[in-house]
Chain A
Amino acid sequence: MEKGQNVDQWREWDAYYSPFDPCSPRQKYYLIPPDQMTTFQSAGLKQYSPHEALKRGTLWPDLYSPYPRGAKEGTR
């Protein structure tokens, strides 16, 4: 699965695969965004430039957590 720039925020998970399962086994992925890890945003974090922040949707690189571009339905 294409994970985009925030690779370290993704976790894999292998569910139990039953012999009677008609579908082929598929690894599952889930995202742990940075705000789950930080309790309180610390002051003085580094910032994007205004235009970059507008494009990325956040002013702070440490909190940037995009969805991978072009991930088709069902491929994750």
Chain B
Amino acid sequence: MSSEKSLPKAYYQYLHELQAVDFVLVELSLYLDTHRDDTQALAQLQQFQKRKHNLVAQFEASFGPLYQYGESQTDAKHWAWADAPWPWQV
């Protein structure tokens, strides 16, 4: 039986975009571990950091917290983390 609240397409688009940006951040971080003076890669990493920050802010504005344990803003009146869907239900 499907839950009454189905997720909009944008929800998955955001997550897919976030996944791609996160992967680039991982690759660049590993690269920079051994190429610490590559300023071009460092600039690219900072650019992707900003991009990720914006994506997370947009996602959380419309769909609630993305991370647990204080990494996402928490609403003072309502513990949004417990709302469906849980990460494994997405």
Contact = CB atoms under 8 A, between A and B. Distances in A.
Q: Chain A interface: which size bin?
A: 10 to 19
Interface in B27-71: 27-28, 31, 34-35, 38, 40-41
Nearest to A63: B27
Contacts of A50: 20-21, 23-24
Given A53-B20, A54-B19, A54-B20, A43 B40 contact: yes
Contacts of B38: 43-44
Interface residues of B, number: 14
Nearest to B40: A44
Say whether chain B's binding surface is mostly helix, strand, loop, or mixed: helix
A58 B41 CA distance: 15
B81 to A, nearest CB: 26
A43 B41 contact: yes
A58 B27 CA distance: 7
Interface in A39-76: 40-41, 43-44, 50-51, 53-54, 58-60
